[in-house]
Structures are given as C-alpha cells and as structure tokens.
C-alpha cells in the first residue's frame, strides 16, 4: 500500500473530489481525517471508509474560520503524533464578469480559494517538518492555468493559489515538504451546478463539454483521486511546485 501508516487531513471532503480522494488514500492505508463544514456529509464519507475496513475520522470545520482550521490540523498532528498529507481542497465558484461580481463576492472567493489554503498549509508545516517532510496538495483548477469566460473571481483566485503553491514549494523543498497543485477540469460533481445554470441547463452544459473538451466528456472523481494518491505518496517523491492538470485536454 502506498500510504501505510500515514496520516492525511482533507478539507471539503464531504462530497465530490475531496471525498473520492479521502476514500482512495484510506484504501492505500492512510488514516484519513475527513473534514468539511457540513459535518453530516463528512461523517457519511468517514462511515463509508470505515465500512470498507479502512481508517477515517471526522472533523466539522469551515475553512474560512482560521482559528478552527488551524486548531483542527494541530489536534490531528498532536493526537496521532504525525501529519503526512494535507489535501487542502475546499473551494467556491462565483460566476460572472467584472461588472457582475460584487466586491464582497470577490473577497469571499479569495477567503476560500486562497486565504484558507495559506492558513491550512501554515498549520501543517511544523508537524511535517518534525517527521522529516510531507506532501501538501492544494486544489486549484485548470482555471488556474487558463482564462475562463465570465469567471473573474474563480479564475483569478485559482491562478493566485497556483502561484502561492509554487512559492511555498520553493521555500520548503529543503524541508522535504512538497507542495503541488491539483488542477481538475470538468468533473461531474455538485460543484458545477452554478455553471450549469449559467450555461442554461444540463443539456447545454453537456453540449459545451463535448464541443470544447478534446476527450468530449466530464472526468470522474475517481480519475482525480488517482492523481491525489500519486501526489500524496512517494510515487511523486521528486515532484514539487507542479500543477497536475487532469482535464481531458481542455486547457491544451
């Protein structure tokens, strides 16, 4: 198993990609802390993992609460004696172009899509350094490497967090703490509901996907979970500061 005896902390793990990544890391032997602002959703994911015979615990935490997020990460490190993987995943998407997005919505996007990753990564450094290193995976998006139409808050913050990931990678390579950005394309989760509405419904969204994505389909959460396990484990031991784009070719 690729993550035997490792401890992993995942934010936004109550649904979608975060949940699939948590399950995949647990299947590889990690003790996974499934965290989400929706405590019921997080508990459901942890129960599935336990029912499959693997290890998971739950913490209800909203990543915009700096103190609670820092405390949750510190308590996991203290109670288990280590922290090997942080997958800082929770994010939000607010649609619209410059004249449509309010300053408050831009600030809200920044708080979840950039600031919370800073807070989480900061809390993970000391316990990772104490055990000779770790892997920090920050969820950006392929919107962090391309410009989307009418998505100013999302594309700007996803570019910013990619820059921050690369900066942290450069600063902490000597501590063997690796930072990589996960950059999915269209993955079929509830996250795309806002964009679906913006496009005019599910059929329109599927038309758009088959016209604009070379592989002509949504990706699955399991296709992203494979990337998460790769970045979390020693399979990517010499990789840091990388943007792992998994998007069916959309950003080519």
Backbone torsions φ then ψ of 11, nearest 5 degrees: -95, 155
154 catalytic per annotation: yes
What x-and-dash track marks residues 139-178 binding ligand NAD by CB under 6 A? x-x-------------------------------------
Q: How far is the CB of 28 from ligand NAD (least distance, A)?
A: 19
Binding ligand NAD (rule: CB under 6 A), the pick from 63, 76, 121, 243 is 63
**Does 17 interact with ligand NAD (rule: CB under 6 A)?**
yes
9 binds ligand NAD (CB under 6 A): no
> Using the rule CB under 6 A, is 223 a contact of ligand NAD?
no
> In the complex with ligand NAD, which residue's Cβ is closer, 5 or 203?
203
- How do 177-184 and 55-60 pair as beta strands? unpaired
Q: Does 189 bind ligand NAD (CB under 6 A)?
A: yes
Distance CA 230, CA 224 (A): 10
Q: Which of 14, 127, 134, 227 binds ligand NAD (CB under 6 A)?
A: 14
- The neighbour count for residue 95, using CB atoms within 10 Å, is 19
**Contacts with ligand NAD: how many residues (CB under 6 A)?**
28
Active site residues: 154
Residues near ligand NAD (CB under 6 A) are 11-12, 14-18, 36-38, 41, 62-64, 89-92, 112, 139, 141, 184, 186-187, 189-192
């Amino acid at each position: 198993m690729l993550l035997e005896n490792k401890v992993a902390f995942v934010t936004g793990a109550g649904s979608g990609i975060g949940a699939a990544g948590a399950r995949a890391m647990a299947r590889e032997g990690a003790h996974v802390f499934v965290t989400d602002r929706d405590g019921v959703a997080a508990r459901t994911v942890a129960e599935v993992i336990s029912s499959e015979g693997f290890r998971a615990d739950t913490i209800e935490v909203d990543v915009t609460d700096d103190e609670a997020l820092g405390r949750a990460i510190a308590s996991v490190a203290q109670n288990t004696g280590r922290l090997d993987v942080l997958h800082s995943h929770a994010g939000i998407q607010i649609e619209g172009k410059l004249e449509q997005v309010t300053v408050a919505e831009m600030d809200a996007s920044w708080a979840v899509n950039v600031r919370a990753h800073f807070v989480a990564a900061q809390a993970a450094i000391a316990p990772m350094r104490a055990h000779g290193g770790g892997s920090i995976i920050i969820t950006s998006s392929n919107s962090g490497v391309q410009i989307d139409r009418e998505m100013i808050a999302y594309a700007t913050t996803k570019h910013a967090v990619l820059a921050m990931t690369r900066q942290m990678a450069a600063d902490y390579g000597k501590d063997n703490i690796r930072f990589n950005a996960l950059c999915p394309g269209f993955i079929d989760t509830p996250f795309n509901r806002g964009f679906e509405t913006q496009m005019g419904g599910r059929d329109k969204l599927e038309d758009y996907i088959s016209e604009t994505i070379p592989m002509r389909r949504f990706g699955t959460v399991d296709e992203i979970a494979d990337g998460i396990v790769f970045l979390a484990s020693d399979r990517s031991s010499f990789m840091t500061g990388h943007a792992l784009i998994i998007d069916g070719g959309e950003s080519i």
